[in-house]
Amino acid sequence: MKIICIGQNYAEHIKELKSAFPEKPVYFLKPDTCLIKNNQPFYLPDFSNDLHHEVEIVIKINRLGKSIEEKFANRYYNELTVGIDFTARDLQREAKSKGLPWEIAKAFDGSAPIGKFISIDTIKNINDLNFELKINDLIVQKGNTSDMIFNVDKIISYVSQFMTLKIGDLIYTGTPSGVGPVKISDKLTASIEGKTLLEFYVK
């Protein structure tokens, strides 16, 4: 399986990183060795001094698809959750400044904690979904999927022009503003509409 991550999908986050507004979805990949499941701890890597959290809504693909039309994209997923797209911001800044790829900053082991999946039938509208991240019980990121520049169906349609989507593939759909560093012993708690789906410690 592959993990597809969308970058720069919330206007306020683009502003905080001083990035340019995308005309098309921007995506990158993480390998499956990034996943952390079942609320297992995240071990702070020693190669970064500025390791940031990015809370994101995550969609699980449940059908094989290629060149999916936007109007049919909703047939390709029926579960979602929250995840963290951990980012070594210092390494990312360096790569960006040299025009190099981001994998070193994004695709390292353990960089994608993933929550418990819920059925799409349990939510009202995927395009109007509140989600948030707390660190040590203080809210640090708050988002609503209605603020996405490219919504889930647009993302699926766009990415599937270039890559076949397979059963079990995950799509991290971008982070709202409020990204920032984590430190050892922090407790991260991520929820959708007040329901906690992911909770783990930084070690």
Is the Cβ of residue 92 or residue 175 nearer to Mg ion in the bound state?
175
The C-alpha atoms of residue 42 and residue 52 are separated, in whole angstroms, by 12
Residues 6+ apart with CB under 8 A from 39: 198, 199, 200
Q: How far is the CB of 145 from Mg ion (least distance, A)?
A: 14
Q: Which residue type sits at 76?
A: Y
Footprint on residues 41-80 left by Mg ion (CB under 5 A): 54
Q: How far is the CB of 187 from Mg ion (least distance, A)?
A: 21
**Residues binding Mg ion: number (CB under 5 A):** 3
For residue 202, count other CB atoms closer than 10 A to its CB: 18
Cβ atoms 132, 139 nearer than 8 A: yes
Query: Phi, psi (5° rounding) for residue 56?
Result: -145, 150
Is the Cβ of residue 54 or residue 132 nearer to Mg ion in the bound state?
54
Residue 82 touches Mg ion, criterion: CB under 5 A? no
Q: How far is the CB of 85 from Mg ion (least distance, A)?
A: 3
Q: How far is the CB of 107 from Mg ion (least distance, A)?
A: 12
Binding characters for Mg ion, 116-155, by CB under 5 A (x = yes)? ----------------------------------------
Per residue, what are the HEC states of 81-144?
EEEECCEEHHHHHHHHHCCCCCHHHHCCCCCEEECCCEEHHHCCCCCCCEEEEEECCEEEEEEE
Residue whose beta carbon is closest to Mg ion: 85
Residue 85 touches Mg ion, criterion: CB under 5 A? yes
Among 145, 160, 175, 189, binds Mg ion (CB under 5 A): 175
| Binding range to Mg ion, per CB under 5 A, among 85-93, 110-118, 149-157, 161-169 | 85-93
Residue 108 touches Mg ion, criterion: CB under 5 A? no
Q: How far is the CB of 93 from Mg ion (least distance, A)?
A: 15
Find residue 59's DSSP bridge partners.
Answer: 80, 171
The C-alpha atoms of residue 32 and residue 27 are separated, in whole angstroms, by 16
Tokens representing 32 are 């499956």
For residue 62, count other CB atoms closer than 10 A to its CB: 17
Q: How far is the CB of 30 from Mg ion (least distance, A)?
A: 10
Binding site for Mg ion (CB under 5 A): 54, 85, 175
